[in-house]
Amino acid sequence: MRTKQETLQAVIDCGIVAVVRGESAEPVMKAIAAVVKGGVTIIEVTFTVPGALEIIRQLAKALPDNVVLGAGTVLDPQTAKNAIEAGAQFIVSPSLNLDVIRTAIDAGKAVMPGALTPTEVVTAWQAGADLVKIFPITSMGPGYLKDLHGPLPKVQFIPTGGIDLSNAADYIKAGAAALGVGSSLIDKKLVAAGDWAALTDRAKKFTEIVKEARAK
């Protein structure tokens, strides 16, 4: 079992958290296998997925050691506790819930609560957040992240929402420690078509973009 610090380092090293949503377990599992093959080894199964808890439980047993599994859309401490017991190594929320943060901390797991305003960011950080998920970043853009990063250089940000191949590099350059990527990586049409090779290719492109952006 990883330590909390090892989990965080793996997230930052990869730079991409695949946000997985779906309608049923089988295609979700196949989509995860496809992106892992492409080098995205940080997987967030959201609780919007039917049977998410059981999927997390199955994945925790089946995924290779280099893959870090987390739970997303965690809205309350009981869900956080259930996810951790099922095998989640990190907890992600779309909003700021101090009880969720505390639950993850007490369990020794990494936690990434959602925030948008500077006040929410600082509140999350002071409460013990390991990374702060800036959500939704879609309409704000990389400039907003850069503005936050200026006065808050010690906060590690993971912007999420609307990040795709065209803007991923801009978010890394703006100060993101990692990126939360959903539909532009786990594309619903590709999943429906069973085009796992295309998902693997997208994962490769995202990881390459992160590496190149960090090198500049």
Q: What are the tens digits of pLDDT across the range 9-50?
A: 999 999 999 999 877 788 988 999 999 999 999 999 999 998
Q: 110: which strand partners?
A: 90
Identify whether 216 is part of a domain.
no
Q: What are phi and psi of 126, to 5 degrees?
A: -65, -25
Indicate the pLDDT class of residue 132, thresholds 50, 70 and 90: very high
Taking residues 84-106, report their average pLDDT.
98
Question: Is the pLDDT reported for residue 106 higher than 80?
Answer: yes
Domain of 146, in residue numbers: 4-211
Residue range 162-200, pLDDT digits in tens: 999 999 999 999 999 999 999 999 999 999 999 999 999
Distance CA 151, CA 66 (A): 34
In-domain check, residue 119: yes
- Within-domain flag for 58: yes
| CATH code of the domain in which 55 resides | 3.20.20.70
**Residues 210, 55: Cα–Cα separation, whole Å:** 28
| Cβ–Cβ under 8 Å, residues 148 and 116 | no
Residue 181 DSSP SS3: strand
Domain count along the chain: 1
Give the predicted TM-score (pTM) of the model: 0.96
Contact 12, 179 (CB under 8 A): no
Structural domain contains residue 121: yes
Cβ-contact 15, 169 below 8 angstroms: no
Residue 92 in any domain: the answer is yes
Is residue 142 included in any domain, yes or no?
yes
User: Does a structural domain hold residue 41?
Assistant: yes
Instruction: Give the span between the Cα atoms of 8 and 110, in whole angstroms.
Output: 7
| Residues with a known catalytic role | 44, 133
